[in-house]
Amino acid sequence: MELRVLRYFIEVAREQNITAAAERLFITQSTLSKQLMELEEELGKQLLVRGKRRTTLTEDGMFLFRRAQEIVELADKTQAALAAEDGVVTGDVSIGCGETQGMRIVIDAMKALNEAHPEVRFHLYSGNDEDVSERLDEGLVDFGLFVGHTDLEKYDFVKLPEYDTWGVIVRRDHPLAQRGCVRPADMAGLPLLCSRQMLHANELSGWLGRDASELNILSTHNLVYNASLMVRAGMGCLLTIDGILPEDAELVFLPLEPAVRAHLFFAWKKYRVFSKASAAFLHCLQTRMEEELSR
């Protein structure tokens, strides 16, 4: 598979029309059609369903579309890193991250690097630990920020001088809202909206004194905004970390008691060879951490 042909395929998948894609690619429709047919022959799979007005992807086509985007993105990042002039720090730094107030120290490092080297560009990809780990393993991000207990055996990492506090977000008219905290006994029968990551965390089971799977889990999620709308609608209580959602007159955060804290780890693949931009960013982050610890 040639990168050029993968770019053609990506454009057709996005446009859902071969004629429109050919115009955007500045090639003839016949040339584009021929390249796509040769790609299908090479792979031995039908990738496209060609209609009169619309071209759609088969199941194999959807798989290739996702992979092709990753391949092209990785190739572009590699080319950009190699094209940087000697002594000039430029290029892209990509970071996969969970939702956490701990991003503050990472953003401080981003700002410091940007002020010193304005040509550096940053790309953030939000998701849970599984999303971040997948992108990190596939080389699609340079770094990953993990929240709480995570298997970091295959990574090098630093522990940030920050932590998150777990709790439950409820409506202000909920009976628990006046208590100021949530204890294990309060969780019995409570309809919960919970991240898939936290549901399987040892910290939660340890705090409860029983398996977390015994909780009344109404819904799971990987990012919290839509879950907060469910809380407003009175569907349940949101088990999450503090500081993710902005202050809201309708909702209140109640920390778990005894406190459950999630430590933060900034990781990268072992034996990774960094681009100049990525190496400079890691240096900025480590400097920022040293300043935090010396206060």
3-state secondary structure of 150: coil
With CA atoms as reference, report the closest residue to 26 among 4, 42, 47: 4
Positions in the chain short of pLDDT 70: 81, 83-87, 197-203
Which one-letter amino acid corresponds to residue 182? V
Task: Provide the Cα torsion 126, 147, 288, 277; round to 10°.
Answer: -40
**Could you tell me the domains of the chain?**
3-81 (1.10.10.10), 86-162+263-294 (3.40.190.10), 164-262 (3.40.190.10)
Concatenating the DSSP letter of every residue in 95-108 gives: EEE-S-TTHHHHHH
Alpha helices, DSSP H only, in the chain?
3-15, 18-25, 29-43, 59-83, 103-116, 129-137, 196-199, 202-208, 225-232, 276-294
67: left (phi over 0), alpha (psi -120 to 50) or beta: alpha
Please state the separation of Cα 173 from the chain's center in Å: 33
Q: What tens digit of pLDDT does each residue of 251-279 get?
A: 999 999 999 888 899 999 988 878 888 99
Predicted confidence at residue 87, as pLDDT, reads 62
Predicted confidence at residue 268, as pLDDT, reads 95
Predicted confidence at residue 201, as pLDDT, reads 60
| DSSP label of 85 | P
The token duo for 208 is 């409860």
Q: What tens digit of pLDDT does each residue of 153-165 get?
A: 899 999 998 888 9
Q: pTM for the whole thing?
A: 0.72
> HSE on the CB side for 207, CA within 13 Å?
25
